[in-house]
Amino acid sequence: MKKKHIFRKILFTFLLLIIISISSAYLYVKTSPKLMINTANNLILYDNNNEVFFKGNESKEWVNLDNISDYVIKATISAEDKNFYKHKGFDFLRIIKASFINIKNRSNIQGASTITQQYAKNLFLTFDKTWKRKWEEMLYTMRIEANYSKDEILEGYLNTINYGHGKYGIENAAKFYFNKSAKELDLAQASMLVGIPKAPTKFSPFNDMKAAKERQLIILNSMVKNEVISEEEKNKAYNEELVLIGKENEEEISSIMYYQDAVSKELETLKDIPASFNDSKGLKVYTNLNMSMQKKLETTINETIPEDIEIETSVVMMDPNTGGIVALVGGKDYDKSPYNRAISSKRQVGSTMKPYLYYAALENGFTSSSAFTSEQTTFTFSNQDNYSPKNYNNKYGNKPISMGTAIAYSENIYAVKTHLFLGSDALINVARRVGITSPLEEVPSLPLGTNEINIIEMAAGYSAFANEGYKIKPHLIEKIEDNNGNILYQAENNKELVLNSSLTFILNNLLTATYDPDYIDYNYPTAINLSSKLKHKYALKSGTTNSDNWNIGFNKDIVCAVWAGYDNNKELTTSDYKYAQNIWYNAVEFYEEGKTDEETWYKKPSNVTAMFVEPISGRPANETDEKKKLMYFIKGTEPSTTDKTFDEIASNENAS
């Protein structure tokens, strides 16, 4: 009896909270100003050449519901929301049914969004998978339903959805695909067009006629099921030969939607732009988007990652001199997954954390030749806790190695010894100075990247190295004007010197060891397969965990950060680790095509000297050495044959 009483009390409290929430939401809706859906999202976005790449409602040729084919209306309602004229914005029975199916199948394939919900998302929201976004979607849906009739909502929806190839709205789509007005579309044409918004790239008949026909059949079957057409009409429409008018080879960059969503997200954070910007007319947003680079990224991802595997990716390319994000991808296929991992996801960064550590080491007296012994090591601390990090594939040199070698092999033992020698605050201090704001734990494994950080944060952090010590603020938007050309916002692009330029020069050259054949010894540099492919000089670091793979590299011109992994943190297979590197390599080489290292690499500061060393140990080279590597040092810190390098005693004393 006591358990039943507790259960009833919990259930009553839960229901009360729901009632209060719904009541509060309806009160908010009733007291909120009317949403202007005909002018919402009326943005014009420009790339870095001042070419328009997106227009909001302004790009749509608006037509009244009376001027839209009855077949389009019936097909849309049958396929998307059969109870559209019965519910108040939410189809609760459909939500329950979809939830049951998803739980039963352990998936998220069954959707339950109504036409009003989809319309609210298209007009006012990004596609982030957050509770905040879900709550906003609910409120916008309620506000639309409270202020507009069903016919007005349906008319707005049909005039604003994406029918592929940059064609928004049914009138634009009808003219593009069939050279007809929306009013003139027959059942075959209407059912083909209505199937496209589900995944505009996949279901465009220009891209994949087979997939488009399969989708068309689903639409027609739903119409038969809902008794708006007969079986005979369905068969006739499906078998009708469609004559397509639009250009089959028209180029479409679907990944640009990730960039567009990121711009919308940034727009919301700008204090100079009112929160009600979505209701504004003629807002002109000038961005840093490099259209050819964005297209190359999409092509590279499509050619690199097989379509039939679930692995995802995110890519950020940033100008380190300004912080301008020139290209951004938040997933491998926007149509299948609009979730923008570039702006909304944090992942374990693996060994891409190590450059922050090694800069801290250089700042605290280490040099390119500073050595620790590479061997299996267990660290015992004063509280008797033990920590036994391992190198990848359990490969150890069992001899002293230089910092250059540690970077080339991504040595974990060397990194942990350095971290413990310096103290955890040294790494964290550098990370904070270059702009890393994510939580960082003061633990021995910190330099191995056990913390989760966003990819834009990491790209911005590396930009301080690429920009010779200057910290910049990452941004997509460069300038915003109103409809009359008045400047509402201008990015400042301020630089702040947070690192020593001479030490960043030394570190940047050390980071070329990751693909340098001179470091082949008991192990291979982590990116040695790029040695013969790269036509330009880059600083490069990879990062690997069981479920994450990173490649971040740069020169004076560009920082490119690439992540690959599974959304559900599934372990990567051996073949999965090649994707991020291949995307990175193709992207940076495309960006730097036609340039020379004299233009893109760094000039040696006057207080830095160069000398030949034996690369693995870091000691001064002699005549008998087979390999000699030119390495850089602050004047007066060059190694000599009599130098005492950092040894195990110092590390053990620090650990204890």
What CATH number corresponds to the domain at position 98? 1.10.3810.10
Question: Residue 354 class from Cβ within 10 Å (0-12 exposed, 13-18 middle, 19+ buried)?
Answer: buried
Please state, in angstroms and as integers, the Cα–Cα distance from residue 278 to each residue in 89, 114, 167, following that order: 21, 21, 20
**Domain edge (last residue) among 193, 224, 239:** 239
- Within this chain, do residues 229 and 312 fall inside the same structural domain, yes or no? no
- Within this chain, do residues 546 and 621 fall inside the same structural domain, yes or no? yes
SS3 annotation, 531-588: CCCCCCCCEEEEEECCCEEEEEEECCCCEEEEEEECCCCCCCCHHHHHHHHHHHHHHH
Burial 411-445 (b: 16+ CB within 10 A, else e): bbbbbbbbbbbbebebbbebbebbbbeeebeeebb
- Within this chain, do residues 214 and 308 fall inside the same structural domain, yes or no? no
Annotation says 80 is catalytic: yes
pTM: 0.77
- Within this chain, do residues 327 and 188 fall inside the same structural domain, yes or no? no
User: For the chain, what's the residue count?
Assistant: 656
CATH number at residue 398: 3.40.710.10
Say which of 264, 351, 368, 617 is annotated catalytic.
351
- Within this chain, do residues 215 and 324 fall inside the same structural domain, yes or no? no
Residue 9 in any domain: the answer is: no
| DSSP code per residue over 185-232 | --HHHHHHHHHGGGSTTTT-TTT-HHHHHHHHHHHHHHHHHTTSS-HH
pLDDT of residue 53: 86
**Domain edge (last residue) among 239, 262, 280:** 239
Total number of domains in the chain:
2
Residue 326 in any domain: the answer is: yes
d(CA 280, CA 282): 7
d(CA 13, CA 464): 52
Residue 280 in any domain: the answer is: no
pLDDT of residue 124: 62
Residue 466 in any domain: the answer is: yes
- Within this chain, do residues 86 and 204 fall inside the same structural domain, yes or no? yes
Say which of 69, 78, 80, 374 is annotated catalytic.
80
Residue 282 in any domain: the answer is: no
Residue 639 token pair:
């190694």
- Within this chain, do residues 196 and 342 fall inside the same structural domain, yes or no? no
Annotation says 542 is catalytic: no
Residue 324 in any domain: the answer is: yes
Q: Which residues of the chain have pLDDT under 70?
A: 1-8, 11-12, 14-16, 18-19, 21-42, 56-60, 89-112, 123-137, 247-252, 274-282, 382-384, 643-656
- Within this chain, do residues 235 and 317 fall inside the same structural domain, yes or no? no
Residue 11 in any domain: the answer is: no
**Domain edge (last residue) among 182, 208, 239:** 239
Residue 28 in any domain: the answer is: no
- Within this chain, do residues 589 and 513 fall inside the same structural domain, yes or no? yes
Q: Which domain holds residue 200?
A: 53-239
- Within this chain, do residues 564 and 644 fall inside the same structural domain, yes or no? yes
- Within this chain, do residues 339 and 209 fall inside the same structural domain, yes or no? no
Helix (H) or strand (E) holding 119: helix 115-124
- Within this chain, do residues 387 and 491 fall inside the same structural domain, yes or no? yes
Total H helices, total E strands in the chain = 22, 20
Nearest residue to 59 via CA among 156, 172, 201, 199: 172
d(CA 289, CA 299): 16
